[in-house]
Chain A
Amino acid sequence: MDIEKPKHYESIVDIAPIGILSYGYDENILIVNQQMAFYLSKSPKELTGKNVKVTLSELNPEILILIDAVKNRASVFEEFFPIKLADQELYFNIKGVVLPEQGLLIFENVTGIKEYQDELKNLDRSKDEFISIASHDLRTPISAIRGYLDMVLKEEVGVISTPKMKEYLELSRQGALRLNDLVEDMLSVSRIDQKRMKFKLEEISLESPIESIISELTPQANAKKLFLRYEKPKTLLPTAQIDKNRFLEVLGNLITNAIKFTQQGGVTLKTLPREDHIRIDCVDTGIGILHGKQKDIFKKFIQLDSSTSSQQKGTGLGLYICKTITEKMGGRIGITSAPNKGSDFFFTVPIAGTPLAKRAAEVIKKETLEHPLQK
């Protein structure tokens, strides 16, 4: 039986649906299976004993680099290596393995997978383009709808004669504003997905942006008889590295959400400096979120409670946008919450000059180079 074994293995190698080729250190081919011989349009017999470099350079001269790497005792793996066979461009994953006294090359035809991947990438790109074009074209008519409705509601062109009329007009305007928010968010998401979102990092104190957003959103809180306040830390805050407008986008989004889901009490902002980052907490006294659902809320298009009334409904994109912006700036975002106990949404930003800040700046710089502003 022992004598039969190698022969048995040889026939397995021979009929395997991948190309297998081994060669000695004199660079002469030792074993070549049927599939490999097929790729080379010759019979195994013809190929045995031939110089491996001469033979394979016909497929693609760059294979020689792989052979040299194996010669230097490195295992190599080349993904989607292009090879021309009978005027057809095929793609192979090639594995080079160092064996005692010989080198082994394995050729796997992955043309189908490559085509599938390319198609997926194209689909993804056209989806992104579709969203951004559709969103741009939606914005103008939405501006018109909300604008005309606003003028009618302010009775600039005549009196609204019945309360029902007024109610319906107000509902129409709310619908238009919601549509507007959705389009804005979809544009942000498509900017994120296409890596077109730009960041201008600066080293500034968080105090003045926080104060400005508090004064901007206080009317919104007061309209629901809620408080909105900032609890200053006892020590001076270190300088942060942020894009101020993006920072305000995240914080504004978290505060607006908190106000939306709080019926009494209010929203408190806190800042806490840590080793290399500052943590910003947005604490509300609202409805809270079940523990099991907390990890989902930062995903795209997630709306937690479908029973919430239409006024409370957002787009399901806000927190996804917050998460992406926060992570791009070198921070992270999270939540601690319990139903009816309120929620604490927090995010972090790097302290200027720390390795964390430098890493974030490098990543953003690299991305800006790879994706310069189009058009």
Chain B
Amino acid sequence: MAKILIVEDDPLINKMYSEKLARDGYEVTVAQNGKIGLDKIKANPPDLIILDIMMPVLSGIEVIQEMKKDVNLEKIPIIVLSNLTEGPDIEKAKKMGITEYLIKSDLDPEDVSNTIKKYLG
């Protein structure tokens, strides 16, 4: 079973995606901020990461930066799922080699699940 880590600080969104993806057959773990997320990634590298950008303690951008420094983690697909539609963070994330940049409010959980299928299917 493919392992997915969801790093998202909003509990409503976090629950929505984790339960959806669990139903779709993935082994899902969650993290409420970038710091907890990074610890979990290091302790038990998942097959794919769903990552928010604007989060307390450690932002999504910082998580990507840390992952790209680590040879064991740099190849894990990262799907950024954010509500940020403008600003330098988007370009920054794309330049660091993320897999997809998705806008939360454009999508339903099923769309996100379909995107994940492309990389884990």
| Contact residues in A for B13 (Cβ distance below 8 Å) | 140, 143-144, 147
| Contact residues in A for B85 (Cβ distance below 8 Å) | 187
Q: Does B3 contact A (CB under 8 A)?
A: no
Known contacts A140-B10, A144-B12, A156-B23, A375 near B87 by CB under 8 Å:
yes
Known contacts A140-B12, A373-B87, A374-B87, A151 near B105 by CB under 8 Å:
no
Among B10, B13, B86, max chain A CB count under 10 A is at B86
| Contact residues in B for A187 (Cβ distance below 8 Å) | 85
Q: Does A95 contact B (CB under 8 A)?
A: no
Q: Does A325 contact B (CB under 8 A)?
A: no
| Contact residues in B for A191 (Cβ distance below 8 Å) | 86
Q: Does A142 contact B (CB under 8 A)?
A: yes
Q: Does A148 contact B (CB under 8 A)?
A: yes
Q: A142 to B86, Cβ gap below 8 A?
A: no
Which A residues between 171 and 214 are near B, CB-CB below 8 angstroms? Answer: 180, 183-184, 187, 191, 196, 198
Measured in the bound complex, the distance between the Cα atoms of B10 and A144 in whole Å is 10
Residue tally, chain A, CB below 8 Å to B: 25
Residue tally, chain B, CB below 8 Å to A: 16
Which B residues between 1 and 60 are near A, CB-CB below 8 angstroms? Answer: 10, 12-13, 16, 20, 23
Q: Which one, B12, B20, B88, B108, contacts A141 given CB within 8 A? A: B12
Which A residues between 237 and 281 are near B, CB-CB below 8 angstroms? Answer: none
| Contact residues in B for A184 (Cβ distance below 8 Å) | 105
Q: Which one, A139, A140, A147, A157, contacts B108 given CB within 8 A? A: A147
Nearest to A132 among chain B residues (CB) is B86
Measured in the bound complex, the distance between the Cα atoms of B86 and A154 in whole Å is 32
Known contacts A140-B12, A140-B13, A143-B104, A150 near B87 by CB under 8 Å:
no
Known contacts A151-B20, A183-B105, A373-B88, A143 near B83 by CB under 8 Å:
yes
Measured in the bound complex, the distance between the Cα atoms of B86 and A358 in whole Å is 26
Q: B109 to A198, Cβ gap below 8 A?
A: no
Q: A151 to B109, Cβ gap below 8 A?
A: yes
Q: B105 to A139, Cβ gap below 8 A?
A: yes
Q: 10 interchain pairs (CB within 8 A)?
A: A139-B105, A140-B12, A141-B12, A144-B12, A146-B105, A147-B16, A151-B16, A151-B108, A157-B23, A180-B105
Extra contacts, 4 of them, besides A140-B12, A141-B12 (Cβ < 8 A), are A140-B10, A140-B104, A146-B108, A196-B86
Question: Which 3 residue pairs are nearest across A and B when measured between Cβ atoms?
Answer: A144-B12, A150-B108, A143-B104
